[in-house]
Amino acid sequence: SLHDALPIFHARVHGLAARIRAGEYRIEPLDTPRTLLDRWVAGRVLRRSITIPEGWTFARIRAALAALPYVEQTLTGLDDAAIMQRLGEPGLHPEGRFFPDTYLYVRGTRDLDLLRQMRRALDRQLATAWARRAADTPLRTPDEALVLASIVEKETGLPAERRQVAGVYARRLALGMPLQADPTVLYGRSEDASGELTRTELRADGPYNTYTRKGLPPTPIAAPGAAALAAAVDPEPGDALYFVARGDGGHVFSATLEDHQRAVRQYRAQRAARGDRE
């Protein structure tokens, strides 16, 4: 119709046809040819999103990227070391180095470019947190803060507890006590292992067993969010050196081994009353 042809005529007369940008566009029910033309010239392409939750491992991030529609997959078949080399950081362990957040992308974006966005975001967040670290922190480097933040992220999902958990671990580090963090042992267990940790696993030495080895594990164990990073560098003051789950998602914090053992007995009694298995 004459009405539909007007935007095309307008585009040719005013030289807009050559300015139409290629890409994927959303067409709305009430769009007219003129509004579509304006959108094409402005390059308002359809943006999709991917959300990486806090606490995800690099393996889960890779799987999520591989499943994204309309993303150019360039990393298929590459191991983690090769991916880090592609990112220009050969030799860097990838765990915990990609910031959990929501990222926008357009059709044809490469998976490597999305990883590069996540990588840069992590560096920015870590630098911000490190600049705000407490004066008495036992952490010596930003990398150590990243490792501790990843443990805090996996230990509790309660915002009110993050600084308390970080405080326990900071005091243990300062005193030379083993961290005894179950999430690190879980991270280091064999791929075919499942279920809760066993006493045998807790006694089996390895780089991620913070029961048998003092100090922080060699790498992060997951992707920490901004809140976990902030807690790791500025933990809550106090004297607690122990904590145990209390059955409702929270934890009981104790300053002495005697109090901690009492809290553990209470927790086990609650589980037994519910019929839970050890």
Helix axes 2-13, 33-42, angle to 10 degrees: 30
Alpha-carbon distances, residue 96 vs 74, 143, 227 (angstroms): 21, 10, 14
Q: Which two tokens stand for residue 80?
A: 């983690």
Residue 240 phi, psi (nearest 5): -65, 135
Among candidates 236, 238, 244, 184, which has minimal Cα distance to 215? 184
Q: What is the pLDDT of residue 23?
A: 63
d(CA 275, CA 43): 60
d(CA 191, CA 152): 23
Q: What is the tens place of the pLDDT at every residue in 110-169?
A: 999 999 999 999 999 999 999 999 999 999 999 999 999 999 999 998 999 999 999 999
Q: What is the pLDDT of residue 243?
A: 94
* Residue % of the chain over a pLDDT of 90: 69
Residues 6+ apart with CB under 8 A from 109: 70, 71, 72
Q: What is the tens place of the pLDDT at every residue in 74-113?
A: 999 999 999 999 999 999 999 999 999 999 998 999 999 9
- Report which residue type is found at 210: T
Helix axes 142-155, 162-175, angle to 10 degrees: 130
d(CA 149, CA 141): 13
Residue 265 phi, psi (nearest 5): -60, -40
Q: Are 186 and 211 in contact (CB under 8 A)?
A: no
- Report which residue type is found at 27: I
Q: What is the tens place of the pLDDT at every residue in 21-74?
A: 666 666 677 666 666 666 666 656 677 899 999 999 999 999 999 999 899 999
Q: What is the SS3 assignment for 48? A: strand
Q: Which two tokens stand for residue 271?
A: 């589980």
- Quickly list DSSP for 64-87: HHHT-TT-B---TT--HHHHHHHT
Q: Quick one: how far is CA 233 from the chain centroid?
A: 17
d(CA 138, CA 136): 6
d(CA 81, CA 7): 52
What radius of gyration do the chain's Cα atoms show? 25
Residues 6+ apart with CB under 8 A from 37: 7, 8, 10, 11, 16, 20
Residues 6+ apart with CB under 8 A from 22: none
Q: Rounded to two decimals, what is the model's pTM?
A: 0.82
